[in-house]
Amino acid sequence: MKFLSALLVVATFGYTTANAAEHSVTFGEIPGFSESAQEGILPDVMRLIGASAGAEFGMIVQPFKRSIMSVAKGKHQAHLPFLNPGNGSVPAPGLAFNSTPLFHTQFSLFHRPGVEIDMSNLASLNIETELAHTDLFSFPTTGTSCIPCSLKKVVAGRVDAFLFANLDVIAIAEAEGITGLAETLYKRYPTHFVIKEGDTEIDALLTKGIEDAVQSGSLQEVLGPNWQ
């Protein structure tokens, strides 16, 4: 019933109000999360946040790096999603994370069963990750644009492990019929919007939308198993 209520709020109010100022959000293109500005978990979440904050959000999907840079260039007010590594670094000069995380993303190491992963010595392993995330880690990783290819290399013993968001990897492995993988949890990252440094207006608007949606339980319902 709570989920139905959340959908009714979005369906009734959409992500616009008559007197609200228009704002713009760009999504990094992620299969299942942001297939288009109309389809995917992130557009659904953004419509909910807009309804909760009483604001109108225009939405667009772009390749991940281009999406981030469009915020840096002032073409859009916020990019979603981006993991906050917690070390003070930001995606690009002049950018910042919004104050309130939207959700958390669990990263795991996927490796062959029976292989022991020494978490204190990951630099000694041959680890691959998705291309846009190589700078997230303090140890060397090799970037790839083909996650199924990397998982098959792990199974074949050509690399030691693949490190990425666990729900994404599990879904891809199931879709591709890839078996013979074990999982070791690595780290849970807060997932934020990326905004222009000093843009207190959009930060406050996003904070209100997120906090209201969390308090009502609607955000958890829309995110489903991605709420961690």
pLDDT at residue 227, rounded to an integer: 60
CA atoms within 13 A on the CB side of 213: 33
**pLDDT at residue 33, rounded to an integer:** 76
User: 0.85 exceeded by the pTM?
Assistant: no
Residues 125 and 204 in one domain: no
**pLDDT digit string (tens) for 87-104?**
888 888 999 999 999 988
Same domain for 198 and 142, yes or no, is no
Q: Determine the average pLDDT of the residues in 99-121.
A: 93
Gap between the Cα atoms of 161 and 153, Å rounded = 9
Give me the number of domains the chain comprises: 2
**Do 144 and 130 touch, CB atoms closer than 8 A?**
yes
How many CB atoms are closer than 10 A to CB 90? 16
Q: What are phi and psi of 114, to 5 degrees?
A: 90, -15
Confidence of residue 6 (pLDDT cuts 50, 70, 90): very low
Where are the alpha helices (H) located in 54-160, listed in sequence order?
64-72, 147-156
Tokens 């041959």 sit at which residue?
A: 126
* Per-residue model confidence as pLDDT tens digits over 206-221: 999 999 999 998 888 8
Q: Which domain holds residue 164?
A: 105-188
Q: Is the pLDDT of residue 69 over 60?
A: yes
Distance CA 208, CA 78 (A): 15
150 and 90, same domain (yes or no): no
Output the average pLDDT for the chain: 86
Domain at 174, CATH number: 3.40.190.10
> Do the beta carbons of residue 194 and residue 82 sit within 8 Å?
yes
> What gap in Å lies between CA 67 and CA 149, rounded to an integer?
25
State percent of the chain over pLDDT 90.
61
99/116 same-domain check:
no
Structure tokens at 71: 């915020």
Contact, 194 vs 95, CB < 8 A?
Answer: yes
Confidence of residue 59 (pLDDT cuts 50, 70, 90): very high
pLDDT digits (tens, 9 = 90+) for 176-208: 999 999 999 999 999 999 999 999 999 999 999
196 in the same domain as 182: no
Instruction: Answer yes or no: do 28 and 89 share one domain.
Output: yes
Q: Of 2, 1, 9, 48, whose CA–CA distance to 25 is shortest?
A: 48
Residue 63 and residue 123 in one domain: no
Q: How far is CA 146 from CA 17, 92, 176, in A?
A: 41, 25, 12
Q: Residue 113: what pLDDT?
A: 96
3-class DSSP assignment, residue 124 = helix
- Residue 10's pLDDT band (cuts 50, 70, 90): very low
142 and 215 assigned to the same domain? no
Tell whether 98 and 52 lie within a shared domain.
Answer: yes
Distances (CA, A) of 49 to 37, 70, 72, 215, 226: 15, 21, 22, 12, 16
- Top-confidence range, 29-43, 59-73, 84-98, 147-161: 147-161
Judgement on whether residues 160 and 195 belong to the same structural domain of the protein: no
Q: Has residue 120 got a pLDDT over 90?
A: yes
Residue 30 has pLDDT above 70, yes or no: yes
Does the pLDDT of residue 41 top 90, yes or no? Answer: no
Residue 16 sits in the same domain as residue 98: yes
Do 98 and 112 lie in one domain? The reply is no
H/E stretch holding 172: helix 166-176
